A and B are shown apart, each in its own frame.
Chain A
Amino acid sequence: MQHFISPVLWQFLVKWLTNFAIFPPEASSIAPYADALYFFLIFISVIGLGAVAALVVTFSIRYRQSRNPVATQIEGSTLLEATWTIIPLILFMITFVWGALLYFRIYSPPPNAMNIYVVGKQWMWKIEHPGGQHEINALHIPINRPIQLTLISQDVFHSFSVPAFRVKREVIPGRYNTVWFEATKPGVYHLFCTQYCGTLHSQMIGWVYAMTPEDYEAWAAGSTSGHSLAQNGERLFASLGCNSCHNGSPNAHGPNLAKVYGSRVQLQNGQFVTVDDAFLRDTILNPTLHQIAGYAPIMPTYQGQVTEDALIDLVEYIKRLDSDYRIEQTIDNSASQPVQTGTTPAGTSAPVLPPGTVKQ
């Protein structure tokens, strides 16, 4: 058969018959909702286009010059204008409300979501699991469990997109963005960078592996670097000297960080803010921008000295600080243990990550 038609055409036909995508898989809890809105929108589009096409075609046939040589001049009709203002308006308002509900659903993570960190850089995705699994261009997740991604870029704008989950979020330098999803079907799905980010933009792709909880547990146990992000953060905390001020003692120079995550703190300017990931990151880089009330603005800035990966370690560490005891322990550890910052020990599947601190 393939001798009779050109090989290129043959290849094309084979592809057509075997590997021809027309609709993305519905693999997250959000996907059916997004698709429902999509089909509704297609429906009103078909109605709208059909109405216009019907009018144009009917009038073109009925009032063509050979059949209707005399045009009747009509000024207009307020009633009709009102009709075709109000009906589209109503349809658009339905779309608006529906879309807004979906948007809030996609961008408001549930409180029990499992957190994974994503760092985008030209041109790869670095995925960091709190348990110490580091991945490049791959994301392993369990199904039926809400996953929240905390995304940041260390250079230009990227965008984290998983079409099968119908979620996408811009990955921006200098600020955490979040997105959440809950995979429903085990499988391997595309992960794209959708924001143009330079030369190899189209190679900043990867795979999302949605696994059953059992498979996921097995993978997590087998792929961990042995050091959780919090543990890495603990070492950094000591090596950067954070513990000299944030030591939890009553007359410390810096605020006590135990249980600080999620609490509301008062700033120098009287504002109250809730401590979250973004706030922690920002106070490390720009301490006096968010000066906690009652402390002197003496903390140095770590802007340009700590990588995004290391910041994630620190945030993860502070997040899990639930007692003063932990800090005291850090102080003890730092005296005896050599400093190892954010590196991955050999023997794990993940590639070696850049060291946590920037060599100056």
Chain B
Amino acid sequence: MSTIVSLPDQSTATLPKVSYLNKEYGLKSWLLTGDHKRIAVLYMISITLFFFIGGAMAALIRLELLTPTTDLLAADTYNKVFTAHGLIMVFFFLVPSVPATIGNFCIPIMVGAKDLAFPKINLLSWYLYIAAGIMMICVLVFGGVDTGWTFTTPLSTHYLNTNVVSAGLAVFLAGFSSIFTGLNFIVTIHRMRAPGMTWFRLPLFVWSHYAASILMVLGTPVLAITLVLVVLERTIGIGVFDPSKGGDPLLFQHLFWFYSHPAVYIMILPGMGVISEVISTFSRKRVFGYTAVAFSSVAIAVFGFFVWAHHMFIMGISNYSALVFSLLTMLVAVPSAIKIFNWSATLYKGSITFETPMLYAFGFLGLFTIGGLTGVFLGSLGMDIHLTETYFIVAHFHFVMVGGMLMAYLSGVHFWWPKITGRMYPEGVSKLAAVITFVGFILTFFPQFILGYLGMPRRYAAYPPEFQVLNVFSSAGATVLGVGYLLPLLYLTWSLKYGKIAGSNPWQATGLEWQIQSPPLTENFAETPIVTHEAYDYEWLANKTRNEVQTVG
């Protein structure tokens, strides 16, 4: 069983006359579209905007932390800035990042459907996102909010006079946008698969989105009702979370983390799907242990619901419930380890090339492994006492969310860019950007592990002077990282006009989306495909290419 797949000659490739991009013109044709690909593009533009707003906030944070005192930003400004950074990055970038853009674009094509099951709900979900986003920007413009993204009661309900209510409602709306996306995916994956597309012929990208969608659908409503209670408590003063009225602030924490821990997997699972596709494609080899990778996604989704209290180990929950939650936390780490090893094993006896998406995927492997392993530190009860609420935890979740998820997102954007736009990105500069991102990331966040063990608390506008050296390192790294993120914005925009024409399958990948023209038709497929091969079947692809050559000859 061996296959040779060579990259196609792109010099003769031409852009198709009709595609989803040029079937209709005008703003209205975009804003009222039901086409999942156009909605994906709309999402991609909007989350890029929010990413850079959140990134600007991050830049301000790192600038302020250059010196131990509060000199650039006053303490309350700093609090508003990191709150905005957290809220925007979590709810307006990470949660919708891969699912709403690449997932939206690819999942219907990958399962062989013409669109998602509910195109109007898909569009509604984008409008909800935009409404939430505009609300969030208004919150920032009209004075900001300084609760931290966790909305901790009773701080958020009784002790702040900032725009907590509108920020809460913005997150509420963004939550419904995410629920609708997840719901759409689940129904599409269940009901819209093409003939012959069995569950175990689905690409792993679809599996991981399926798992993430379950989390979105079941977790987000709990956040919604929690925020409703916070808003009611703040506006009219009901007392469910207010200890002075007999309420319980820890109940808020339970409800909040019941969503917000699964939310971590909502963010990372789609990224894992991207990595499966990319590593397989550039190794020209099926993913090692397909079923193990597929079921580990589902296992993460299931276990992910039962570990929320590991955010509360030091809060005075009973020692024995802490024990159970720590045990489950250890168990949820195992499926991630399985995935990492399967991806590594996929490289074995492959035929590996190092295009940009693959470099980002390697970055993901390294950084996510560090992020995951440091998660074990935090899941371990006794260690968590010292590490939680310090920069260790900041470094940990940035390794997972930025090192993992953002790397995966960029990997995916580069990987599917030819499919989305029909044009290639410039390979040289994008490889440079991938390396800069990786180096900048390590520089920014690795010192924070050391700071965390030293005990530097998170969300501090000022800190003891002996922590300055490491903070300067971190801020310097952030500058490098910033360059790494600006570069793709520039050259990807450039490539829209000047990029080389990609052709339908520039990577010689096996996915259904690569067998149709780039950019695809509005209906995706001219005829409903009948699937006879498994995902990552390079034999089939080689035969198909040979057949085509014969046909042409």
- On A, residues with C-beta under 8 Å from B are 12, 15-16, 19-24, 33-34, 37-38, 41, 44-45, 48-49, 52-53, 55-56, 59-60, 63-65, 68-77, 80-81, 84-85, 88-89, 92-93, 95-96, 98-108, 122, 155-157, 159, 161, 163-164, 166-170, 172-175, 177, 190, 192-203, 205, 286, 303-304
Chain B residue numbers with a CB within 8 Å of A16 are 469
User: 4 smallest A-B Cβ distances: which pairs?
Assistant: A102-B382, A163-B455, A174-B243, A99-B380
Q: What are 18 sample pairs from A and B whose C-beta atoms fall under 8 A apart?
A: A24-B453, A38-B383, A52-B344, A55-B348, A63-B348, A71-B285, A73-B2, A73-B538, A85-B334, A88-B334, A89-B334, A92-B330, A167-B385, A173-B244, A201-B79, A201-B461, A202-B459, A304-B244
- The answer, among A68, A84, A108, for a CB contact under 8 Å with B341, is A84
Q: Which of B159, B377, B383 has the most CB of A within 10 A?
A: B383
A69 to B470, CA, bound (A): 45
A197 to B389, CA, bound (A): 12
Q: If A24-B455, A163-B386, A197-B155 touch, does A202 touch B286 (CB 8 Å cutoff)?
A: no
Q: Other CB < 8 Å A-B pairs besides A15-B465, A59-B352, A73-B539, 5 of them? A: A59-B344, A71-B351, A80-B289, A98-B382, A172-B316
Question: Judging by beta carbons under 8 Å apart, are B283 and A49 in contact?
Answer: no
Question: Judging by beta carbons under 8 Å apart, are A194 and B389 in contact?
Answer: yes
Q: If A166-B385, A199-B76 touch, does A41 touch B380 (CB 8 Å cutoff)?
A: yes
Question: Judging by beta carbons under 8 Å apart, are A37 and B380 in contact?
Answer: yes
B154 nearest CB neighbor, chain A only: A156
Distance to closest chain A CB from B78 (angstroms): 8
Chain B residue numbers with a CB within 8 Å of A72 are 1-2, 285, 349
Question: Judging by beta carbons under 8 Å apart, are B155 and A168 in contact?
Answer: no
Chain B residue numbers with a CB within 8 Å of A107 are 319, 385
Distance to closest chain B CB from A107 (angstroms): 6
Contact with A along B282-302 (1 / 0, CB 8 A): 011110111110000000000
Contact with A along B74-89 (1 / 0, CB 8 A): 0110010000000000
Chain A residue numbers with a CB within 8 Å of B138 are none
Question: Judging by beta carbons under 8 Å apart, are A88 and B382 in contact?
Answer: no
Check if B450 is an interface residue, CB within 8 A of chain A. yes
Distance to closest chain A CB from B458 (angstroms): 7
Give chain B's interface secondary structure class.
helix
Q: If A92-B376, A159-B314, A167-B385 touch, does A76 touch B291 (CB 8 Å cutoff)?
A: yes
Question: Judging by beta carbons under 8 Å apart, are A84 and B319 in contact?
Answer: no
Distance to closest chain B CB from A139 (angstroms): 15
A173 nearest CB neighbor, chain B only: B243
A102 to B502, CA, bound (A): 57
Distance to closest chain A CB from B146 (angstroms): 7
A175 to B243, CA, bound (A): 9
Q: How many interface contacts (CB-CB < 8 Å) are there between A and B?
A: 316
Contact with A along B139-158 (1 / 0, CB 8 A): 00000001010101011001
A21 to B312, CA, bound (A): 28
- On B, residues with C-beta under 8 Å from A are 1-5, 70, 75-76, 79, 146, 148, 150, 152, 154-155, 158-160, 243-244, 246, 248-250, 283-286, 288-292, 312-316, 319, 322-323, 326-327, 330-331, 333-334, 337-338, 340-342, 344-345, 347-354, 362, 365-366, 369-370, 373-374, 376-377, 379-386, 388-390, 450, 453-455, 457-470, 472, 538-539
Chain B residue numbers with a CB within 8 Å of A19 are 465-466
Chain A residue numbers with a CB within 8 Å of B362 are 56, 60
- The answer, among B248, B288, B350, B470, for a CB contact under 8 Å with A63, is B350
Chain A residue numbers with a CB within 8 Å of B292 are 76, 81
Question: Judging by beta carbons under 8 Å apart, are A202 and B383 in contact?
Answer: no
Chain B residue numbers with a CB within 8 Å of A175 are 243, 316
Chain B residue numbers with a CB within 8 Å of A55 are 341, 344-345, 347-348
Distance to closest chain B CB from A38 (angstroms): 6
Chain B residue numbers with a CB within 8 Å of A104 are 319
Q: If A21-B466, A96-B327, A203-B75 touch, does A196 touch B370 (CB 8 Å cutoff)?
A: no
Question: Judging by beta carbons under 8 Å apart, are A15 and B468 in contact?
Answer: yes
A41 to B286, CA, bound (A): 33
A84 to B464, CA, bound (A): 43
Chain A residue numbers with a CB within 8 Å of B366 are 49, 52-53, 56
Chain A residue numbers with a CB within 8 Å of B389 are 159, 161, 168, 194-195
Q: If A102-B383, A157-B155, A163-B386 touch, does A63 touch B374 (CB 8 Å cutoff)?
A: no
Question: Judging by beta carbons under 8 Å apart, are A202 and B347 in contact?
Answer: no
A20 nearest CB neighbor, chain B only: B469
A169 to B283, CA, bound (A): 49
A161 to B454, CA, bound (A): 11
